[in-house]
Amino acid sequence: MEKGILFNVQRFSVHDGPGIRTTLFFKGCPLRCQWCHNPEGYRQQRELSFQSAKCIGCGACLAACPSGAHASRDGAHVLLREKCTACGACASACPTGALSILGEIYTAGQAAEAALRDAPFYADGGGATLSGGEPMAQPEFALAIARILREKGVSVCVETSGHCPPAALQAIVPYVQCFLFDIKETDPARHKAFTGVDNARILENFRLLDRLGAQTVLRCPIIPGVNDRPEHFLAIAALANEARHVSGIELEPYHPLGLSKREQLGQPGGYALRTSLAPEALEPFLAQMRAHTDVPVRIS
């Protein structure tokens, strides 16, 4: 059976598709969005998270680590990430939870079963959502999960950046009720500057899904100083207008939850704004888009 890696199973989600849903977060993503709120989804492997505020300097991790990834200098804990093998010994020994391993290997059956436990709550249109990271970065694993869930009568949504092989999307379409398709930036050069990849493949895959008749909701993170400009919103409206199967557009205000995660994972850089974007700041753009498309637009 296909195996893959997840970093979270979130139950009772209400923002990842219709109804109450169980969201499976896949580990691994080809994009490096500077504002990403799930940077633990970047790497397709287990990794160690360290919350320094919880560390009491007890030294339990030093004694437990078989690879010498922990040290003490001038009374302060130092994590030598280049030596870490993510074995988890330090996390098991840590008495305060300062250390934890992110990423767990599942078979497709185990991942599907994790969602099926919540099946009694799906009666009002809910189901399971494959998110991430990027679920289509593990296409065989995602396909196997979606197939099992659909055979059990569970609705499946897939949240995707669209940056994946077209064949992976074609294969999974028959098992998916709705694609939550991220449109992060409509200008190709700006898209590459802020996410690490251009958007040519993404737009090609968006149009592919539409040709295949896949229901799609456009999800658009709005980042101050990056894509909060009229041209971007008009371009989103134009994308929706050219398609036949876009059922909605969701504007998602920026929030800084990814910053602390980056620090815990030792990831440099990132979008440095530490305050959330108030939803009401998007009202002018909401009005602008509604004037240019009949597709329902809302702030999520």
Q: Report pLDDT for 75.
A: 81
DSSP string, the chain: --EEEEEEEEEEESSSSSSSEEEEEES--S---TT-S-GGGSSSS-EEEE-GGG-----HHHHH-SS--EEEETTEEEE-GGG-----HHHHH-SSS-EEEE-EEEEHHHHHHHHHTTGGGGTTT-EEEEEES-GGGSHHHHHHHHHHHHHTT-EEEEEE-S-S-HHHHHHHGGG-SEEEEE---SSHHHHHHHHSS-SHHHHHHHHHHHHTT--EEEEEEE-TTTT-SHHHHHHHHHHHHH-SSEEEEEEEE---HHHHHHHHHT--------SPPPGGGGHHHHHHHHTT--S-EEE-
CA 124 to chain centre: 24
Q: What type of residue is 114?
A: A
pLDDT interval class at 269 (50, 70, 90): confident
Q: What is the CATH number of domain 3-44+103-299?
A: 3.20.20.70
Lowest-confidence pick of 72-81, 96-105, 180-189, 191-200: 72-81
pLDDT at 204 over 90: yes
Q: Report pLDDT for 95.
A: 98
pLDDT at 74 over 90: no
Lowest-confidence pick of 91-105, 196-210, 249-263: 249-263
Residues 270-279, mean pLDDT to the nearest whole number: 87
Domain boundaries, the chain: 3-44+103-299, 47-102
Each residue's pLDDT tens digit, 230-240: 999 999 999 99
Nearest-angstrom CA–CA distance, 177 and 115: 16
pLDDT at 272 over 90: no
Q: Report pLDDT for 31.
A: 98
Nearest-angstrom CA–CA distance, 33 and 51: 22
Backbone phi, then psi, for 31, in 5-degree steps?
-95, 160
More confident residue, 257 or 150: 150
pLDDT interval class at 66 (50, 70, 90): very high
Q: Are 161 and 197 in contact (CB under 8 A)?
A: no
Q: What is the CATH number of domain 47-102?
A: 3.30.70.20
Each residue's pLDDT tens digit, 214-228: 999 999 999 999 999
The pTM for the full model equals: 0.95
pLDDT at 1 over 80: no
Q: Report pLDDT for 235.
A: 97
CA 15 to chain centre: 12
